[in-house]
Structure 1
Amino acid sequence: MRRAASIQLHPEALRHNLAVARGLAPGVSMWTVIKAEGYGHGLLWAAEVLAGASDGLAVSQIGEARALREAGFDGPLLVLQGPHDVGELRACHQLRLEPVIHETAQLDHLDAVPVRLPTVWVKLNTGMNRLGFGPPDAEGVARRLRAAGHGSWGVHWMTHLACADEPEHPQNARQLEGFAAAVSPLPGQASVANSAALFAGWGRAPGLDPERVCWARPGIMLYGAHPASVPADAPPEGPQADLRPAMTVQAPIIAIQPLEPGSMVGYGATWTADAPGRAGIVAMGYADGYPRHAPSGTPVRVRDRICPLIGRVSMDMLAVDLTDCPQAGVGDLATLWGEGLPVERVARAAGTISYELLTRVADRLQPAR
């Protein structure tokens, strides 16, 4: 059933943001990351917008890659988690995927199945301690892959930086140095840069031969959000970073409540008016993906003015203080984030990150008609 809240998608913003990513790393190839339903924007929508402009699409799981192939996307597809079992390994071959191998069990699957993968990426765990082989194992992994007939078109290398959104953090230097030391003696392409690492200037993996082919993996920045951690004092927001929001979330004001001094709003009566005013009731709540824990004061945009959220967020509704926006009324649209209100600003107020807000609306809200 259609919800009152809706999203507007901006394809031109997605393409613009990819151009920003390319400007941060000239000459570096781009895997555009569209996992998690295109960060909440829609897997197939993101693929359709980006496929012609990117060098390849990156997803998390085989099921996402299968959906893209079935929809007609025939370009390079990187699968960041690689195959989880023998059946998915066969799918990598059938669907012409470039899987990321990060675990010994995956090597065992490769030995057990009579298929040969021409291109394989190997993930090294340089300090994130999430996925990947230890750097000392890199040469052995490559040898095992080639002995089994894999990587005829290339065995390539990647790692993931834990603190790229804090460029001065010493963990970055440790990881970059460890990756370069492990990979420099080995052939193949390299990839270290997500969105944050691109902004830090690491699109071309530091410490490697400058002639080596490198790939970046921009994700969150494509959708118009800066990858800075939250909370932070003053992280760059979309427009300041030359990024444009690819999603605007809006919902109508469905009621106006007059407020007197002492009037309380919402469950638990957590907000109390200290002067006469007006509350606008917006048809957006946590069932629509808005964070229930967003506190009073979280910004909402109404008629080009920033109005504070007041009281607790309900399942289908939230309230905003319209006292300083007297022209607003029933039927006006409130912008929860998007054009005119960067999602990072809302995330900061709610004590979360833009990634969570964007992906929470996936499969809940429909594009506005």
Structure 2
Amino acid sequence: MSRPLIADIDLGALRDNYRLARDRAPHSRALAVLKADAYGHGATQCALALADMAPAFAVASLEEAVALRDAGITQPIMLLEGFFDAAELPLIDAHRLWVAVHSDWQIDALLAYHPRQPIPTWLKLDSGMHRLGVAPEMFVARWQRLKAASTQVTALHLMTHFATADALDPTYFRRQMTCIETLRQRLEAPICLANSPATLAWPEAHGDWTRPGVMLYGSDPLEGANDASRALKPVMTLRSELIAVRELATGEVVGYGGRWKASRPSRIGVVACGYGDGYDRHAQDGTPVLVEGQRVPLAGKVSMDMLTVDLTDVPEADVGSRVVLWGEGLSVDEVARYCDTISYTLLTGLLPRVPRRYRNAEMM
């Protein structure tokens, strides 16, 4: 019998979440973000599941895009960070990719290259994230330069990224929107602004395109949930089983460092899952785990291949009992809070040794 840990990927839920993103911004096209192997879910399988729905996809690198092309994905694919070296441009041209550009050296390289056909290009504005992008006072000149290069560039769009679209306080978001709107009106530019939180919560940011990411995989990115974010469905359920049950007396400790100490006679269950699989080693005692659908607390430090839970209040649990680490019935967002992190790190951190099992592919 193989190790019982699997990541159960519900492609039907993925499609439902994409549909929600599309319905939330009915006058926009939704660019489905598949970077980081579709946030750990499997980029090829997720792209195929969305192939009849999404007009385009987005990834972080040329390698990610080429892997999708090799798998038969024909939709446009946007390189969200553009190219990292001018030597990538022939492959970008050959695979008919779209590029974001955020720096003068990229603009220079793009305009020095002679593609077989003009490359769809989105110019990134630094509207306040201060990570990538052209400063507002320099943006018009760069836009006009790209706009004039009709043999190299086509379908020019303005894009940017929000620093606080997930936050309850709208002050900084509105400051960014003011910057964006000033340039959009001046240039009459088509825009792509809305990430997952802006798609869910800020209709004024929807524009010509949205680019939903983590929401497609069922994680709520908002600091304060709304009706739309509460309707998201988990796509990944990380499942395992109990592989051992131990009886401990009051005062006995569990795991490395003896961090957890039994305050009463206790039953401890050992789950086949650990940080060697991508479960966060920083999970606190009390982090929720489902055993046969009942919540039990993590008890002790996570090990490389195992973690331990307190089964004292679930006497029927035994070896072979089903375990959910996150997913159906237990939000990955809640687990992430106990690990002092965010759902993105848990989902993208799931390691290759965990088998992905896909279901509802027949709905495609």
- TM-score relative to the length of structure 2: 0.93
- Among 312, 322, 328, the alignment partner of 1:339 is 328
Where do 5+ consecutive residues of structure 2 fail to align? Answer: 359-364
Deviation at 1:259, TM superposition (A): 1.6
- Whether 1:304 aligns to 2:293 is yes
Shift of the 246–256 alpha-carbon distance from structure 1 to 2, 3 Å rule, reads same
Shift of the 149–310 alpha-carbon distance from structure 1 to 2, 3 Å rule, reads same
In the TM superposition, what whole-angstrom CA distance separates every residue of 1:31-87 from its partner, at most 9, and x where no partner exists?
Answer: 010100000001101111112111211111111111111111111111101111122
Question: Contact 2:126 / 2:135 at 8 angstroms: preserved in 1?
Answer: yes
Deviation at 1:153, TM superposition (A): 3.7
Give the corresponding residue for 1:224. Answer: 218
1:66-77 → structure 2 map (5 Å cutoff): 66-77=66-77
Give the corresponding residue for 1:176. Answer: 177
- Among 268, 283, 307, the alignment partner of 2:257 is 268
Shift of the 154–237 alpha-carbon distance from structure 1 to 2, 3 Å rule, reads closer
Give the corresponding residue for 2:189. Answer: 188
- Among 267, 272, 286, the alignment partner of 2:275 is 286
Deviation at 1:202, TM superposition (A): 3.1
What secondary structure sits across from 1:106 in the alignment?
helix
Shift of the 56–239 alpha-carbon distance from structure 1 to 2, 3 Å rule, reads closer
Deviation at 1:362, TM superposition (A): 4.3
In the TM superposition, what whole-angstrom CA distance separates every residue of 1:185-217 from its partner, at most 9, and x where no partner exists?
Answer: 214320110011112223645xxxxxxx61000
Question: Contact 2:99 / 2:119 at 8 angstroms: preserved in 1?
Answer: no
Give the corresponding residue for 2:237. Answer: 248
Deviation at 1:140, TM superposition (A): 1.2
What secondary structure sits across from 1:287 in the alignment?
coil
RMSD: 1.9
- TM-score relative to the length of structure 1: 0.92
d(CA) in 2 for partners of 1:104, 1:118? 17
Give the corresponding residue for 2:246. Answer: 257
Instruction: Kindly provide the amino acid, as one letter, of the partner of residue 195 in structure 2.
Output: N
Question: Contact 1:41 / 1:362 at 8 angstroms: preserved in 2?
Answer: no
d(CA) in 2 for partners of 1:337, 1:63? 29
Instruction: Kindly provide the amino acid, as one letter, of the partner of residue 14 in structure 2.
Output: L
In the TM superposition, what whole-angstrom CA distance separates every residue of 1:75-130 from its partner, at most 9, and x where no partner exists?
Answer: 11111011111221222211111100111110121133222534211110011011
Instruction: Kindly provide the amino acid, as one letter, of the partner of residue 74 in structure 1.
Output: T
d(CA) in 2 for partners of 1:155, 1:240? 31
Give the corresponding residue for 1:9. Answer: 9
d(CA) in 1 for partners of 2:5, 2:227? 23
Deviation at 1:152, TM superposition (A): 5.5
Question: Contact 2:78 / 2:98 at 8 angstroms: preserved in 1?
Answer: yes
> Size of the alignment, in residue pairs?
356
Shift of the 167–363 alpha-carbon distance from structure 1 to 2, 3 Å rule, reads same
